[in-house]
Chains A and B, each alone.
Chain A
Amino acid sequence: MSILFSAYVPQRHTHNHLHAARLGPVPFTESIMRLGIILLGLLLSFLAGSALAMEASESPSSHPLPAGSVMPDLQLRGELAPEHLKHLGLTGAEPHSLSSIRAKTVILVAFSMYCPHCQREAPVLNELNALIESRGLSADVKLIGVGIGNSDFEVQVFRDKYAVTFPLFSDPDFKVNKEIGEVGTPFFYVLDLDAQKKEIIVADTLLGRMESASSFLDHALKASNAAR
């Protein structure tokens, strides 16, 4: 949609430019047409705006941590498969602290099984995880999900329904969500884990569905490198 829309804009300018370059009065039918085009443009930008705004379940009290700020060391809980615990380098009992995840970059997605945008995003998240693996990044870059307001049961529903390939934690009482700024869903935090300073830095954020897994990953890696 956005491609079509942006492709349209230069076309409109070109035609306006041609008209403007012409000397003398503009014929009546053409001015009507021009007005029509302008109205169409306005209508389209309105529709495009509302369509894009719909790609997230917004939160009225949202105040995400901005890029560059320090992310608290979140306490994560959930029923994780042994291979997922191993993948993240986590041992021992819950809760697991975010800082104990063995990674340089953590991509945290706040989701909910109740959020239709997250339901639609699930295959893209699996794609993102596959991309991390196929690019040989899985030792350094870990994708995790936190089910905002979701019980273990509800997280399991989401895991089963979409055959989710990456570790999902649950946040039934919104404790994690309070720490990350009561964000809407899906919300992405790209986090840089600095082993020396023992600090977790927010490298980048995104509310709503990503454009594509590969462009998101490229962007995330760039932001994470810049934060270092």
Chain B
Amino acid sequence: MSRHLIPFLLAAVLLCGAPLTAMAQGSGIPKNHLFEVGELKPLDSTLKVKIGDPAPDFSLRTIDGGTISLAQFRGKKNVALSFVPAAWTPVCSGQWPGYNIVQDLFDQTDTQLVGVSVDNVPTLHAWVQEMGGVWFPVASDFFPHGRLADALGILRSTGEAERSLFLIDKQGIIRYIDVHDINSRPDLGPLVKAMQELKKAQN
């Protein structure tokens, strides 16, 4: 009996391990795991801040179990906030994986990228894991619901944040704003250009 069992056990161990490895490598999100939102009203909020204003301070929980605040970067790093409307939606799932290959552009310009959404921590954690992970902190503006998004004026009437980018300098002043059509991904070019110009001005 045990003689017969060994090959099966071996096969089981080998074969169960193999697909899991493949899944870890192929870490995009399959279509049926995403919620199709369809075409949404491009913008559904009124911005409350402008370039040159101090950014509202924030303290948000992150998916690694910690917290992140704007104050901790004061005098040290510029901060780029990338708000996405919702986890598990197609456009959002196709945005942060792109930022994964440009960490050097953020590092070269003393910029800390922070991903933010109004989803709760466990949801954000699961979603980011399924995307294959990201190198930058991901923060949850869940409770009080969308407090930071609301302070910036990007909280939609349906409770999601606008798809938007904010660049904040080391003194906490907003230097760049791109509140984007929620249905499409912002071009990375203008943000990187703003980061490079800010860095140049700081030298």
Contact = CB atoms under 8 A, between A and B. Distances in A.
B19 A44 contact: yes
Most-contacted residue by chain B among A58, A112, A114, A209 (CB, 10 A): A114
The interface residues of chain A, by DSSP majority, are classed as helix
B19 A54 contact: no
Given A47-B23, A58-B30, A116 B100 contact: yes
Contacts of A114: 94-95, 97-98, 185
B71 interface: no
Contacts of A50: 19, 23, 30
B171 interface: no
A53 interface: yes
Interface stretch (B6-14, B161-169, B174-182): B6-14
Given A44-B19, A114-B94, 6 more contacts: A1-B22, A11-B11, A33-B8, A56-B28, A151-B189, A157-B188
25 contacts: A1-B22, A4-B14, A11-B7, A11-B11, A37-B8, A40-B11, A44-B15, A50-B23, A51-B26, A53-B30, A55-B26, A58-B31, A60-B90, A112-B98, A115-B28, A117-B28, A119-B100, A120-B25, A149-B185, A151-B187, A153-B187, A154-B189, A158-B101, A172-B187, A209-B26
B18 A60 contact: no
Interface of A: 1, 4-5, 8, 11, 29-30, 33, 36-37, 40, 43-44, 47-48, 50-58, 60, 112-117, 119-120, 149, 151-154, 157-158, 161, 172, 209
Contact of A116 (B4, B5, B132, B187): B132
B202 interface: no
B98 A57 contact: no
Contact of B26 (A4, A54, A112, A152): A54
Interface in B7-48: 7-8, 11-12, 14-16, 18-23, 25-31, 36
Contact of A153 (B19, B94, B188): B188
B30 A115 contact: no
Contact of A60 (B5, B26, B36, B100): B36
A54 B30 contact: yes
Contacts of A8: 11, 15
Contacts of A44: 15-16, 19
Contact of A4 (B15, B97, B132): B15
A157 B18 contact: no
A1 B25 CA distance: 11
Nearest to B5: A33
B126 interface: no
B26 A5 contact: no
A183 to B, nearest CB: 13
Contacts of A4: 14-15, 18
Contacts of B18: 1, 4-5
